Structure 1
């Protein structure tokens, strides 16, 4: 399974570049940029970066492995009707991933806030995150996009990404 970084649209280009350089330097598969406006907070006056991209939205997915598997089954049935091999399409999912340091009350509060807004969040110990992430390949997901919009800024952002890379991604 591949992992790509997804910088928040509200990040400056300098921050996007720093994230892309980090991803390249540490072996991430790629960097994705949102193709449409995505509100990452309550303040709509914050400028955002957007790019135009064509996505296979029907097979890209935000959520858990069980939903990814269901969408894959639906997609496969549609492919069968038109004579296309569903395995010829790379499928991706997006989810918020974070290995939480024990006692990090800020992370726990953030998880509760994100879940209350309907976000799919995989946050917990390295083993908890690993156990959930390991279910995506069986659900037909080839690449997991990791949005960084909730990881904070500066060192906190890169420390969280490094924990994820060392404690989860390296074990897959």
Structure 2
């Protein structure tokens, strides 16, 4: 089992850097970053750092762990531009970048910045074309593509990513479209959910792979949950009431949940910092307890 850490984009750069360096030193396997421009809330005044410039900085400043977007909104950038960005971050990092990609969902960003939001079907159609575009550019000397939404003519991409292939992580749990797109293009797949949900959707992903003639084992699975590492059972229940999947309890209880994820076919569990405290010191204290009482048992 791998463990990733997810600093929120509302952190200052200095706090993000401190958390990422601490995670690397403490033995975490990856740093993940969300791709948003503003809060998804009525009050949109809070700071929100941009994803790919942050990943490029982390590629230099944090030299060991994987770094990736969780996940890039396809609507925000032309996929050829995104492929160039990801390849460059992979080169800067020496081959540690993961291109997380999703169809895009946060409507208030699109309205505020004048970005076309479209319908769910429209976003999914763009997303599927984008997956073909980025995987083609990563592989081909020149890429030609004629789609409804994107067109490329003898498009080069150099330098190529260090990793061949550069991992494409598909984010989302839609069983008809998203999981089939993942079966066709993804090296990794991610969705929020309980172990039961991951097991059920993972089986659907496997069926899509089999229909397309692909080995399901070639796609790694990951998920995330709100960590509540505490002896206070009431605190765990309060967090569950928020509606997000919760990884909660004391050390043995959290380990048992991680084991359930492993049994469901999950290869990486990602811990967001959203509820771990207001300061770097508070967050790193929880990270260290998690490393001692949970991560150390899965080495």
Q: Is the CA contact (8 Å cut-off) linking 1:8 and 1:40 kept in structure 2?
A: no
TM-score relative to the length of structure 1: 0.87
Q: Distance in 1 between matches of 2:192 and 2:38?
A: 13
Q: Distance in 1 between matches of 2:249 and 2:227?
A: 9
C-alpha distance 147-75 of structure 1, shift in aligned 2 (>3 A): same
CA drift at 1:35:
2.6
Q: Is the CA contact (8 Å cut-off) linking 1:10 and 1:47 kept in structure 2?
A: yes
CA-atom RMSD in angstroms:
2.1
Matches within 5 A, 1:1-172: 1-36=1-36, 39=39, 43-51=43-51, 52=72, 53-54=100-101, 55-58=169-172, 59-100=189-230, 102=231, 108=235, 111-152=236-277, 153-172=279-298
Q: Distance in 1 between matches of 2:211 and 2:240?
A: 36
Unpaired runs of 5+ residues, structure 1, are: none
TM-score relative to the length of structure 2: 0.52
Q: Is the CA contact (8 Å cut-off) linking 1:9 and 1:38 kept in structure 2?
A: no
Unpaired runs of 5+ residues, structure 2, are: 52-71, 73-99, 102-168, 173-188
Larger radius of gyration: 2
C-alpha distance 34-90 of structure 1, shift in aligned 2 (>3 A): same
Q: Distance in 2 between matches of 1:161 and 1:103?
A: 18
C-alpha distance 92-163 of structure 1, shift in aligned 2 (>3 A): same
